[in-house]
Amino acid sequence: MNILIGLMLFPLLDRFARREGKIDERLIKKTQTLDSAGKLSAIIFSKEEQGSICKECLKEMGVNIVHEFPFINAYAVEVPASMLGEVARIEAIEYISDDIETSSLLDIATQGVGARTANKMGYTGKGIGIAVLDTGIYPHPDLIRPKNRIVAFKDFINQREGPYDDNGHGTFVAGVAAGNGYSSGGRYAGVAPEANVIGVKVMTKNGEGNASKIVAGMQWVLDHRNDYNIRIACLSLGSQLLGSLNKDPLVVASNALWDQGIFVVAAAGNAGPKQGTITTPGVCPSIVTVGAVDDKRTVDPRDDVVADFSSRGPVRGGLAKPDVVAPGVGVISLNTDPDYSNGPKLYSLEKVYATMSGTSVAAPVVAGMAALILEKNPSYKPDDIKRLLLKHTRKLDANIYAQGKGLVDMQRILNEI
C-alpha cells in the first residue's frame, strides 16, 4: 500500500474512530502521512481487568509492546499505521492515545518563600526522596559532597547506568529543590538541602521527550518508591493538551502516582500571558501546578509579580490553574559542566552555577517545600501537603488564573505544622 492508498483509507478510519471514540485525533491525522511500512508510537489503555487479554491480542497482531504500565492499565506500543483501525477494534482496548511530544519547560528565591527560615529551624528535607523526571542529573558537588545524595539514577533514553545530564535542565531543577550550596558556602543552596535526589532521565539532550518515556519513568518511580523513600515527583516538563483529561497519558499517570501516595508537582508552562495555556501534566486536577513569579531579585515579596511568560488557566472544565506560584525568574542553581566526565573538579563560581527562568524553575521550589513538610510530618499524604500549600500563600496583584492561590509561603506553613 502506498501513501495514496493510505489517504484513500483515511476517511474510513476517521469515521470508525469518531464513531467509537477510541483513537486520539492526533494519531488519525498522522496516518495521512505514512505508508504501510510507517509506524506510529501510541499508548494503549486497556479496559479495567482486561489488561492481560489486551496484551495477548496485541502480541497476536504483531504489535510491538515497548513499555508496560500496570499502574494505569496501559501499554506503550509501536503499531503500523495501516493496522491502527484493526487494533482499535480489539474489545479489551479502552482508548489509543498518541505518544505526545513534550519539552523541558536561589539565594533570593529560597528566602522569598521562607525556605531559609525552615532550614534554620532544622528542616532540610533529610531522608526524603525527590524524583526528578527530566534530562538527567549531573554529579555536581552540591549534590554529592560531603555526601552523595543522588541515591538512584535510571536512564530511559540512552540506558546508561551512572548519573549524567547531557542537557543541564534536570541538574538545574534538582539544585533548586535539593542543592546544598557546597560550592558557594551555602549561598546558592536549594530549598531542601539534605533531601535525596532520584534522577530519572526521560528527556533527550535537546530537552525533548515523549509521553511513553515519561510514563515509563513514573512507573519506575512507583515500583521503587520504597527502595529510596520517594515521596515527591517533580515534572518540569509539558506538552499542549489536545484531548480530554481522562484520556491524556500524563494526566492519568500523574493522578495514579498521587493516589498511590506520591506528591506530584508540575510546571504550569511558559506560554503566558494568554489564558488557557497550562500544559499537561499541569492540567491534572489532583496534583500541584506551579506558575512563575518575578521576585525582582529582592527578598521582600511585596514587589513580586506573576511572570509574563507563566502559563495561565483555566483548564478544561473551568478548573483554576495554576494552584500556586513560586520564584521563576533569574533563579541561580546548578550548572552542568560538559567536561565533568572524569569526575569532580574545582571550578570557578561562574562555571559551577547558572541562571535560568521558567515555570520549570518554579516547580522544584514547591517540590523542595514538600520535602520539608514531609520531614516534619512523614505521615502526610499528598492531599495534606496540597492543602497546606494552598492555604498559606501571599496574594499578588493578579487573578486566580495567573497566580492560583498566590505565592507559596513556607514560614506560614511552619506556624501550622
Q: Are 130 and 236 in contact (CB under 8 A)?
A: no
List strands edge to edge, sheet with 74-80: 64-69, 74-80, 39-46, 93-98
Going from the C-alpha of 235 to that of each of 117, 157, 217, 319, the distances in angstroms are: 26, 16, 11, 20
Pick the catalytic residue from 169, 183, 239, 295.
169
Strands in 251-339 per DSSP E: 263-267, 288-294, 305-306, 324-327, 331-334
Pick the catalytic residue from 24, 99, 134, 142.
134
Decide if 224 is catalytic.
no
Measured from the Cβ of residue 377, the count of other Cβ atoms closer than 10 Å reads 12
Decide if 333 is catalytic.
no
Amino acid at 202: V
Decide if 134 is catalytic.
yes
**Residues linked to residue 334 through DSSP beta bridges, in sequence order:** 353
Residue in 318, 291, 319 with CA at minimum distance from that of residue 307? 291
Pick the catalytic residue from 82, 295, 360, 392.
360
Residue entry with cell 530549598 = 191
Q: How far apart are CA 124 and CA 298, in angstroms?
A: 23
Q: Which residues are catalytic?
A: 134, 169, 360
